[in-house]
Structure 1
Amino acid sequence: MNAHTPQALAIATEVAPPIPRASQQPRRQVRPGATRLGPGEAVPFGPLLGPFLLVLFWSVGSAAGHIDSRVLPSPWATATTAVDLVRQGRLQADLAVSAWRAAQGVAWGVSVGVIVALISGLSQLGGYLFDGLVQIKRAIPVLALIPLVILWFGIGEGMKVIVISLGVFVPIYLHTHTALRAIDLRYVELAETLGLGRLAFIRHVVLPGALPGFMLGLRFGVMGAWLALVVVEQLNASSGVGYMINLARTYAQSDIIVVGLVLYAVLGLVTDSALRLLEARALSWRRTLA
């Protein structure tokens, strides 16, 4: 019997059960902007698991006597010191000064980074002019530039803001520039077909295409701002969290030092969480795993 005859096909159909197709399986609907990791929903406070375990380890070690209080004060001693500093008005005053310095540095770094990234990403000549310079700056740590910045701008507030801005500028430029160069050429051709002008092209194609890279660069940039702030506030500063830590080091007040470090850690965690939430809202049209 020929394998291709109707009788053979009928017998094969009766013997072999139908193979279910993957396309027939129901697909789970994913809400725009929802974050998922595998089949389950993301836990709202999942990113706090690591810090919680760290504090738990710190507490157990201190209570059991495995951590010397002269080396690392216990969490309850640190909390008591923080409350005392708040009652004296020192902690909030230093925090306000540090936040203002960081805000100025972030504002300048983001502004300059976005402008330079647009010029370099949208113009071949701009890329030749700026990209190599930024890569050179990327290879030089911000801390290595501090002596030169002090010679040029003195050791006042201007120097501190400039150093923080440099820590923000490079991540903003790199990620925004990379996102600009990764925009699908089909969108560019579509914009040319529709006859969009230069400003309309930037508004409807360039900026939405570069937004994911910019948001990622902003997260790295804000972290760079806090790192630079830790250093510059210990250079001829008379206020700020870094000054508080430096002064406590002089008098061997380890509890105040730990309060300052915990404050830096909390500021970094809170700002990054806020930026992640902003990123999820701004990029709600994307469908990602997490």
Structure 2
Amino acid sequence: MRIYLDHNATTPVDSTVVDTVSNVLRDCYGNASSVHTFGQSAKALLDDARASVAALLGAQPAEIVFTGGGTESDNLAIRGAAGVSSPNGRRHLIASTIEHEAVLNTIKDLTRHGWTATYLPVGASGIVNPSDLQTAITDQTALVSVMHANNEIGTLQPITELASIAHTHGALFHTDAVQTAGKYPVSASELGVDLLSISGHKFNGPKGVGALWVRRGTRLTSSLTGGRQERNRRAGTENVAGIAGLGVAAQVAVDKLNGETSRLGRLRDRLESEILCNVSGAELNGTGQRVSNTTNISGVADPL
């Protein structure tokens, strides 16, 4: 029997998602931008998926922008905010040192084009201290980006407090929620952020599809030029089958989230207790509030 313990990297695709993607690929091949029946059938699938993803995030369907995954969502958030802020003279970005490369390398690229960046340190549990953000932020800061939960140790960041600091200085706040959406209760509006990234394959959906939640009224420039899809925020013919699969994965996650979160939390606590009690030198990395599906334990291996 094989046991898969790498769900933060990717997850198995739910069987209902597989069926949905297969059926759409076979039966619903119209372009969602077309006005004829085939196209409108495809558009209806996009609308249904948008509503499902919005329900997962406690959001409105009009706030959901479909993308090619978490990396593209992060790029759209950062580059889109930068494109709006640059003419106003705000050319400073802030992120934590432990962000995904999709965030860090995007900011690094912008620094090659006249932007400045500040990187916030984290403590032993991987948490950003809000006072560090308060020190780093200026009236020239366009965007702050801090992940919702760390993919290695699972600790949750004080996003609401951090976002409040950003807004006090007129900056937008983005959080990469790839490791929490579908696994931990996420309400974009309650977090107080402006932009939130998710990826389908992290919660039993297909690879190559994700979404960016954009708070109503938040202005972004598109990182892709072309057609007017996704309310002019993401050009290109939509991946209808993948998006439909993402919508079903979101529905499945909503239906099982509370019970599954509790079940995984109990299993995680039991595993950690057994290891810490029975393995000499084992140490738990990350304390405080954590997502229930993640554990990180280190120790000194016995010499061979």
TM-score strictly above 0.5: no
- Higher percent of residues as helix: 1
- Higher percent of residues as strand: 2
